[in-house]
A and B are shown apart, each in its own frame.
Chain A
Amino acid sequence: MSWLIGSVFAIVAVTGLLVVLSRDPKRQVFALGANGLALTTLFFVLQAPDVGLSEIVVNTVLTPALFLMTLAAVAMNSVSR
C-alpha cells in the first residue's frame, strides 16, 4: 500500500468522523459533501474512475442538495405552524 493510498484513506476516515461528530444538520450536510469528495479521491486513486464519477456527483452535489432543501422545508414548516 503506497503512501498515496494510505493518506487518502486517512482523509476519508477523518472526514467520515467529522460527519458523525458535527451536531448541526446543516454543517453535517457539508461534512457529508467533503466526505464524498474524499471518497471520490480514494476511488480515483484505486483506479475505479467509473465509481468515482458517480460518487462525486451523487455524494457532493445531489445528496447534499436534497438534504439542504429538506432542511429548508422543515424550517419553513416549523415556523409557519
Chain B
Amino acid sequence: MTARWRLGLFAGAVLILTAAAGVIAAHMPAFGVPASHYGPAVNAIIPAARHATNMVAAVNFDVRGLDTLGEECILVCAATGAVVLLRGARGESISADAGRVPGRAVLRRTDATVILCRIAVSLTLVYGIYMALHGTITPGGGFQGGVVIASGLMLVYLGDGYALWRRMVPSVAMALLEGGGAFLFVAAAAIPLALGGDALANMLPLGQPKDLFSGGLIMLANDCVALSVTGSFGLLLLEFMEETRSPAEDPVPDEEDP
C-alpha cells in the first residue's frame, strides 16, 4: 500500500467518522443532565434503607455487592497471575544488590528526603486506613484506601532504600493480606447464603446514619476489599521492584528435560 493510498483511506475515514460523530453528538443529552432514573432512586431509597451516606459505597457493596465480589476476585487473580509469571522467570530468591544501568550516576539520598518520606509514610498510611474505614460515610472506600496504603509503602523505598523496604513489606504478609481479604469477603457473602438468606444479605445492625459503624455489612465488605487491594498492589510492586535487581546467584532451576 503506497503512501497516497493510505492518505486517501485516512481522509475518507476522517470524513465518515466526523459526520457520524457529529450526528451522535447532536442527539446526546445536554451536559450535566441526568440521563438515568437510577441515581435519584438510589438517593431516595438508600439513606433510609441502609443508613449509609456514601451512595457509591452503598451501591458497590450492598445493592450490587455480588458484582464487586466478582471484581475483587478478578483483581486477586490478575495480581496472582502477574506474580506467578514474574517469579516463574526469576525464582523465589531475593537479591540484595541493586541492578545498575551503566552510565547512570547513583546519588545518595539527602537527609531531607529521608525525613520527608518518613513523615509522609505515616501520614499516608493513616489516611489510607481512615479512608477505608470511613467508606460508608465519606467518599473513598476499600479500593481507594487500599491503593493509598500500597502507594504509601512505596514511600518507604523512596526514603530508606530497598533493604528496609523488603524487611518492612514481606511478600508473605502481602500474600496473606491479599488472600485473607478476598477470603473474608467471600465469607461475608457465603455466611448469609448458608443461613438461608441471599448472598451478601445485610443482616448486621445498621447503626446511626453518619456514624462510623453504620451501614452494617457495607463497612465490613469495604475493609475486606481494602486488605485485599493493599496485598495485591503491594505484591505487584514488590515483584516489579525485584525485577530491577541484579540476578541472584542461584538461577531458576531448569525445567525438567524429557
Contact = CB atoms under 8 A, between A and B. Distances in A.
Given A57-B151, A73-B244, A62 B99 contact: no
A79 to B, nearest CB: 6
A65 B244 CA distance: 12
A66 B151 contact: no
A65 B143 CA distance: 18
Q: What does DSSP make chain A's interface, helix, strand, loop or mixed? A: helix
Interface size class of chain A, counting residues whose CB lies under 8 Å from the partner chain: 10 to 19
Contact of A58 (B102, B147, B241): B147
B143 A54 contact: yes
A72 B141 CA distance: 33
B256 to A, nearest CB: 26
B144 A79 contact: no
Interface string A56-81: 01100110011001101101100100
B101 interface: yes
B100 interface: yes
**3 nearest CB pairs, A to B:** A49-B139, A53-B144, A57-B147
Interface of A: 1, 49-50, 53-54, 57-58, 61-62, 65-66, 69-70, 72-73, 75-76, 79
Given A54-B143, A54-B147, A76-B99, 5 more contacts: A53-B144, A65-B237, A65-B240, A72-B99, A72-B101
22 contacts: A1-B31, A50-B139, A53-B131, A53-B140, A53-B144, A57-B147, A57-B148, A61-B154, A62-B237, A65-B154, A65-B240, A66-B237, A66-B240, A69-B240, A69-B243, A69-B244, A70-B240, A72-B244, A73-B99, A76-B99, A76-B244, A79-B101
Interface of B: 31-32, 54, 56-57, 99-102, 131, 139-141, 143-144, 147-148, 150-151, 154, 233, 236-237, 240-241, 243-244, 246
